[in-house]
Amino acid sequence: MQIIKDLTNINYSKGNNRKIKYIVIHYVGAVSTARNNASYFKNTYRGASAHYFVDDNEIVQVVEDKDVSWHCGADKYYCEARNSNSIGIEMCCYKKNGKLDISNKIVDKTIELVKELMKKYNIDVNHVVRHYDVSHKVCPAPFVNDENRWNEFKKRLGQAPFKNTTVLEWQKVMNKCYGCELAEDNSYGPDSRAKANNYYLYYEKGKSVIVNDHVKFIQNRLIKKGFSCGESGADKSYGPDTRDAVKAFQKANGLEVDGYVGAETTELLLK
C-alpha cells in the first residue's frame, strides 16, 4: 500500500515511545484532497492535525505514527482514546446533492489502511472508533448519521463475529477432529478465529499431507463455492489440488494467496 509522506513541521507533539491503542476515524468536513490538507498543516500553526489523509487517489501521511497528532482532543471524553494513545485518520469528502459525503473508494482505502495499522500495532476492532465515540463530535458525519455505514465499516475490518449454521457445523468438526473445546454457539468470534489459526491447513511438498474431516469440510465449502478440489473431490486429503483450489478462492476474494487455510480464509468459506 502506497503512502506519501508530507510531514508537518509544526502541528504535532513528540511521541516519547507512546503506546498506540486506538485508531480514530474522522472526515475532513470540507471538499479537499489529501495533498491540500498536507499543505494546509505543513508550516502554519493550526492547533489541529491528523496522521493520515485519504482521498480517492492517495494516502498522505502528515504526522509519523510514533508522534502525536491533534485530532480528537476534547473537554469531555466518552471512551479512552486520546491524542496521546491513538492514530487519527481523516477521510476526504465530496459533495452529493449539496451534502458532504465519503466515496466508496475512500472507504475502501481507509479500510485497507486501518487493517494494516491494526496488524502493525496489534489493535483489535473494538479499538477502532469514530471521532464521535471519543467526544460526541458529529464526525465522520455520514457514519454518525447513518449507523449502518459505520457497522458495515467495522464488519469489513474482518473481526466482527458473525453467526450462521455453517459456523456451527465447522465448530463441531473442529471439536471432533482436534478436541479443541470450541463453544458450539454458531458464532465466528475471537475463539473460533484463534482455533482456525492454531489448526490451519496447508500443503507443502515433501511434508506429510493432512488427512482429516476438517479438510473434508473445507473441501466441501470450496466445492460449494465453485472451486474444484480435483478429480477425487472432498477426499479428506489436503493435497496440491485442494491447495490450488484454496489459492483460487483466496485470489477471488482479495485475500493473501498463500494456500493456507487460517482464520481469514476460513471466515470467508463459512459465509
51 binds Zn ion (CB under 5 A): no
The residue among 133 and 264 lying less far from Zn ion, judged by its C-beta, is: 133
Which of 23, 59, 139, 218 contacts Zn ion by CB under 5 A?
A: 139
Span near Zn ion by CB under 5 A; candidates 11-19, 33-41, 135-143, 237-245: 135-143
Q: How far is the CB of 33 from Zn ion (least distance, A)?
A: 17
The residue among 71 and 214 lying less far from Zn ion, judged by its C-beta, is: 71
Q: How far is the CB of 65 from Zn ion (least distance, A)?
A: 18
DSSP 59: E
131 binds Zn ion (CB under 5 A): yes
Question: Binding-site residue total for Zn ion (CB under 5 A)?
Answer: 3
Greatest CA span in the chain, whole angstroms?
67
Q: How far is the CB of 52 from Zn ion (least distance, A)?
A: 13
Determine contact, residues 203/238, Cβ cutoff 8 Å: yes
The residue among 139 and 167 lying less far from Zn ion, judged by its C-beta, is: 139
Span near Zn ion by CB under 5 A; candidates 7-15, 120-128, 136-144, 262-270: 136-144
* Window 62 to 81, contacts with Zn ion (CB under 5 A): none
The residue among 22 and 238 lying less far from Zn ion, judged by its C-beta, is: 22
The residue among 139 and 255 lying less far from Zn ion, judged by its C-beta, is: 139
Q: How far is the CB of 50 from Zn ion (least distance, A)?
A: 8
Is the CA virtual torsion 124, 129, 134, 136 positive or negative? negative
Determine contact, residues 72/134, Cβ cutoff 8 Å: yes
Q: E strands of the chain, at which residues? A: 4-5, 22-31, 52-54, 59-61, 86-96, 99-101, 128-130, 162-163, 187-188
Per-residue DSSP letters for 191-226? HHHHHHHHT-B---TTSPPPBSHHHHHHHHHHHHTT
The residue among 69 and 250 lying less far from Zn ion, judged by its C-beta, is: 69
- Residue whose C-alpha cell reads 492514530 in the numeric block: 87
Q: What are the angstrom distances between the C-alpha of 122 and each of 21, 114, 117, 162?
A: 8, 11, 8, 21
CB atoms within 10 A of CB 37: 24
26 binds Zn ion (CB under 5 A): yes
Task: Note the residues at the interface with Zn ion (CB under 5 A).
Answer: 26, 131, 139
